[in-house]
Amino acid sequence: MSSEGPDLVCEVDNVQGIVDALTAVRWKRQQDAVVELSEHGVVLIVEESSCLQAKVYLQRELFIKYEYGGAQGRPRFGVSLGLLVNCLNTFSVPAGGRSSSTIEIRYPGPDMQLLLKSVDSLDACIYAEIRTRIPETISWDYNFEPAGTTPLSFTVKSAALKEAIDDLEWPGSSVQIILQPDPPSVTFKGEGHGDLQIDFMYYVNTDLLIAFSCDRQVSYRYKYKFLQATTSNIPSSVIRDNRGSKLTIGRGGMLKVQHLVSVARPSIPHPHVDSAGYQQPSRIAYIEFFVKPEEDESTIND
């Protein structure tokens, strides 16, 4: 470690919230992640097959202390996502009648480790070192661009979205997502071993389909396993808080799925939550998935 000090020293008082956010992008047991540090916060990135990418944004406002070393560029390191989540879980287990303690996160250690330790426990101090690596490849920039002047997007209750995608596992193979302005609706259509179609009608049930923007019909297919990864580990807190997830189709059919995860301390009452399930930004972790569409010449896009 250089004599100039660490790149980052921060403290977080809701470890479970961080665990929830990271678990949301853990779609398989063995996953490597790239962590990027900046004065604005921490970003964790995971990818698969150049077809699926997920990002967890932990803005500096989530931390009760955030001291960035001002390193040139943005320090990046690779880490096992499973190991990081399991290690953080150790700190979030209730002990002595208390829920998760405040922990300090420091990078880098003497051998480029990620260092974690509890800082407010009266009885004992938990300390952990996680080995990091130099990222093998630079994470591919998905370069998400709007599909036109009118956004092609909709916001649906996270619980309903997860249930719909879970149901589409039966047909398997690929899932077609269709947006049409008249009548304003979203259709998920699975084809494979059988056919299954799930419709969200905007004006019929605004409790489920909260927001909708579309000026022309579009239709793209996505591989089911990649689509499933966007909702398979939505934290129970998101379902419990009745939050919404936003889906946007960009240029070329790139699908962006956004979730919001609360990192507020459980003992603190939730601030105002509006009808779309969005909280004030200071204690929210932002989750984004990017899914490439399947190459399919029959896809209809006027």
Q: Cα(157)–Cα(258) distance, rounded to whole angstroms?
A: 12
Query: Domains (ranges, CATH) in the chain?
Result: 8-130 (3.10.150.10), 152-256+263-291 (3.70.10.10)
Rg (CA), the chain: 20
Q: Cα(232)–Cα(238) distance, rounded to whole angstroms?
A: 13
Q: Mark 73-95 as b/e (b = at least 16 C-beta within 10 Å).
A: eebbbbbbbbebbebbeebbeee
Outline where DSSP puts E strands in 119-163. 127-130, 152-157
Element containing residue 212 per DSSP (H, E): strand 209-213
State whether residue 181 is helix, strand or coil.
strand
Closest CA to 287 of 239, 240, 241, 233: 233
Residues in the chain: 302
pLDDT score, position 267: 57
Name residue, tokens 């494979």: 192
Q: Cα(33)–Cα(44) distance, rounded to whole angstroms?
A: 7
pLDDT score, position 183: 92
Q: Cα(33)–Cα(58) distance, rounded to whole angstroms?
A: 14
pLDDT score, position 207: 80
pLDDT score, position 5: 84
Quick count: other Cβ atoms within 10 Å of Cβ 9?
17
Regions in the chain scoring below 50 on pLDDT: 1-2, 97, 268-281, 297-299
Could you tell me whether strands 195-201 and 32-38 are parallel, antiparallel, or unpaired per DSSP bridges? unpaired
**What is the model's pTM?**
0.88
- Max distance between CA atoms of the chain, in angstroms, equals 65
Q: At what angle do helices 81-92 and 15-23 cross, to 10 degrees?
A: 150
pLDDT score, position 64: 93
∠ CA(202), CA(237), CA(127), 5° rounding?
Answer: 145
